[in-house]
Chains A and B, each alone.
Chain A
Amino acid sequence: MDHLDKLEAQSVYILREAYREFKSLCMLWSIGKDSTVMLWLARKAFFGHVPIPLVHIDTHYKIPEMIAYRDRFALEWNLNMIYGQNSEALAEKLTFPDGNTDRITCCKYLKSEALKHTLSGEWPRYRMDHEQRRYLVDDGREPYTGVIVGVRADEEGSRSKERYFSPRDKDNVWDVGDQPPEFWNQFKTDFAPGTHVRIHPLLDWTEQNIWEYIEREKIPVVSLYFNQGEGIRYRSLGCYPCTNPVLSDARTVPEIIDELKSGKFSNIAERSGRAQDSEDGGLETLRRDGYM
């Protein structure tokens, strides 16, 4: 087994463990490369099927290509696709692009809050109806007690401390100082009422591993990751007002891998194009509040 085989085997094991132990389980799909690899790993784990609902938080500021891509594969791969949103904040224009909040607060409203209430079932969930090929308000309001998230330990400091199975209390709080132990391949799969567990199958993957795996498996990813001739591409995807492309000539997956291994990005942080990270507290403050 090479290193990708080992990473794949561990992620598949984690996904199956989650599926076995959590009755109300979902997987967050941001449409980005990491969670798309995670979705692919679910197809590996369940032999071509994805028996877990996929949840996407729609901020309405996502780059339009991302939404088109989401819906295309939701239909093509027969996914149980759900999205949620903060309708109130959007209606009242409590956003950064509207000039009414700073970036961090905007993230908190459109992502953290929307996510929290979509997971709990308090706010409407919109589910893809495969016959009508459009989203309908879902009847299911059961809170998800297991949430699969595609974070990687190498992304930044706080994520390097995550467990594969990481409990959150009812307010989504992550007590980083008092995490459950994980011995060998036994994880925290028992949880008290009112709490939920986040599951991180990609924890050991690096950005480079992700691209190597995309290349090996020929996983379709959003074209925004590639230079389309203008000498720019996105390295990390988010909302368009806060995500900047990087200067890069990479047009293909192998070119991206080369760029990461030895080229211009070998020593530059992946999320350097994400503006919210550089505001006070940044990602860590957001994550404490439930941001993924």
Chain B
Amino acid sequence: MNGRAQMNIVIVGHVDHGKSTVIGRLLADTGSLPQGKLEAVRESCRRNSKPFEYAFLLDALKDEQAQGITIDMARCFFKTAARDYIIIDAPGHIEFLKNMITGASRAESALLVIDADEGIKENSKRHGQMVAMLGVKQVTVLANKMDLVGFSQDVFEKLKADYTAFLEAINVTPVSFIPISAREGDNIASHSERMEWYKGATVLEQLDQFVSEKELHEKPFRFPVQDIYKFTRSNDDRRIVAGTVAAGRVRVGDEVLFLPSGKKSVVQSVESFNTEQKNVASAGESTGFTLATQIYVRPGELMVKPGESQPEVGSRFRVNIFWVGRAPMLRNKSYKLKIGSARATVKLAEICNTLDASDLTSSKSKQQIDCRDVGECILETTRPIAFDTTAVSEATGRFVIVDNFEIAGGGVVVENLSVGETLLQQHIRDRESNWEAGFVRAEQRASVNRHKAKFIVFTGAKGTGKRAVAKALEQGLFQNGMNAYYLGVANIDRGLDADLGSHSDSAGERLRRIGELARILTDAGLIFITTIDDADDYDIETLKLLNEPNDILVVNMGESSFSRYQPDLQLADGGVVADAVTLVAAFLKAKEIIIDYQI
């Protein structure tokens, strides 16, 4: 069987600098074209009275040929004696930057084509910078169209010096510069007789010299949890934590830690289909595990080994970002962040600087990140996530940002900044310092009401009977002459939250509205009661913060989905409702929230 090594390479550069011609040449000169393809394209050119060009081999689509530019990345395959290659032809036209990034993000090495005659252009620089940010480590610069400058060594050396200076400024060291003429075939597959002054490798030789990415097995174990499977209906009781190992390795019997929840367990088995029994899973494998203990883990958590170097956990971090969205990235607008298998609501908190990649001028004064900008900024998620800085682990330090259903930007995390004040804390501080109170003080209300105000949240899994208890509590308190109010969350969905639709991305905003509502109703002196399914630590911490300076009380029913948070009161699920109410009322009395309670 054929176990040949394979490498993804991307070809980038300014429009019309000859990327497609380079690829056409590589395919033709390595004999990688399907039989008849070359003839078919030549025939098509003849029919349309156009001179044949190697670039046409790639321009597989009609509208593309009509426009004469590469619209999307096309993939093609060729092989040398050393290995197989997938070439990703990335479009050079500025409109198609996102396609270029798509291509480059999959590549291990890059060929950057610059027209020796036309010289360094905007996208020569922009692409150089993007390729660096995307993590492509090996870049070779092809000085193309040397035939147009008389194969002049001076022109080549000048271009090499200028572009090297640019790359140094962005901390990129190119592997090599090669003078070529893709159209004529010089220095592609064989050494050019017209540039004997050049002693370096041909393009094909250079490709074979690129080294495949360093093994990720030796790095600390990182496993973004993609999903949890239990196919009970097919008579399968395994509860499998599924995903792809991003780095490192793990064995059966290893202790594992899930972040950000902080839950721990031990790997009981490595699961697979139609293979031998496995006891270890390593970087790159799409696999699954069963755990020795039943713990509640969600997709999006990062599974690591406690004994190894730990990832960051936080909600505020400094990033390098590039933006390709039609609409600019705005401060304080909610976006969706995808990093590893985690998804989170994210806001642009601060813009540190933006960089115009074409002339490398930076601006510290911009208030938004425009399409095609590269920038450094601070992002903040509504809840903490686990991640790495890209210097530690690339696969878990890269993210994309979704705006209006589209991936609109991407980048790498540079630093965890979670110690600073969060946007939510800023908001509460700002809200409270401007809060306009009436003349009635909280103590006066409590004295007249004969109870204190309180925000009571019932949590627990669905079906634990928390709604029944919450409603009965409202009724009991009311019958005892107290101002209690139960609000069903479904009412909020259809009312206050009607503008949010059913999209799951708005969970953070729903929570914020409940918290703001609680702040108002507790200020009015009420005992405000509601329920939340499967609340986790951050849900409750967020509600607590939003309700400040008033108090929250958390009653959990059944198994707790909290990892650190201690609910004020823990009740069993499935019990008698009246008994549960009595327990809550007794607790309220003990806490001096209410004075007396008669059943």
Contact = CB atoms under 8 A, between A and B. Distances in A.
A47 B238 contact: yes
Interface stretch (A89-97, A155-163, A237-245): A155-163
Contacts of A179: 72, 99
Interface stretch (B117-125, B228-236, B350-358, B570-578): B228-236
A47 B236 contact: yes
Interface stretch (B169-177, B266-274, B558-566): B266-274
A215 interface: yes
A45 B400 CA distance: 24
B60 A157 contact: yes
Contact of A177 (B60, B63, B73, B75): B63
A147 B1 CA distance: 32
Contact of A181 (B6, B75, B101, B338): B101
B242 interface: yes
B398 interface: yes
B98 A161 contact: no
A140 to B, nearest CB: 16
Contacts of B406: 180, 188, 190
B398 A183 contact: yes
A44 B278 CA distance: 14
Interface in A119-162: 153-154, 156-158, 160-161
Interface stretch (B9-17, B146-154, B282-290): B282-290
A284 B59 CA distance: 13
B2 A161 contact: no
Contacts of B282: 1
A250 B413 CA distance: 53
Contacts of B62: 284
B273 A47 contact: yes
Contacts of A161: 60-61, 71-74
A78 B410 contact: no
Nearest to B395: A184
Contacts of A217: 274
A108 interface: no
Contact of B35 (A44, A46, A267): A267
Interface string A1-38: 11101101110110011011000000000000000000
Contacts of B140: none
Contacts of A257: 1-2
A48 interface: yes
B240 A47 contact: yes
Interface in B380-409: 395, 398-400, 402, 404-407
Nearest to B324: A181
Contact of B34 (A2, A176, A177, A267): A267
Which of A47, A179, A192, A216 is most buried by chain B, counting CB atoms within 10 A of its CB?
A47
A212 B99 contact: no
A268 B274 contact: no
A160 B105 contact: no
B234 A184 contact: no
Interface band, chain B: 35 or more
A5 B244 CA distance: 12
Contact of A268 (B35, B105, B402): B35
A87 interface: no
B229 A47 contact: yes
A215 B2 CA distance: 12
Given A48-B236, A190-B402, A215-B1, A181 B226 contact: no
A190 B405 contact: yes
B99 A9 contact: no
A188 B75 CA distance: 19
A13 B272 contact: no
Contacts of B1: 212, 215-216, 257
A236 interface: no
B299 A20 contact: yes
A228 interface: no
Nearest to B8: A204
Given A20-B299, A183-B400, A44 B61 contact: no
Nearest to B59: A157
Which of A45, A49, A177 is most buried by chain B, counting CB atoms within 10 A of its CB?
A177
Given A47-B238, A160-B75, A161-B60, A190 B101 contact: no
A69 interface: no
Interface string A27-69: 0000000000000000111111101000000000000000000
Given A181-B99, A182-B407, A46 B229 contact: yes
Closest 6 CB pairs of A and B: A157-B60, A181-B98, A12-B286, A267-B35, A186-B400, A9-B286
Given A17-B226, A161-B60, 17 more contacts: A16-B286, A20-B226, A45-B286, A47-B240, A47-B272, A153-B75, A154-B77, A158-B60, A161-B74, A163-B102, A183-B407, A184-B398, A186-B399, A190-B336, A216-B1, A217-B274, A268-B36
12 contacts: A1-B282, A6-B6, A12-B244, A16-B226, A16-B243, A47-B273, A161-B60, A190-B402, A192-B404, A208-B2, A215-B1, A284-B61
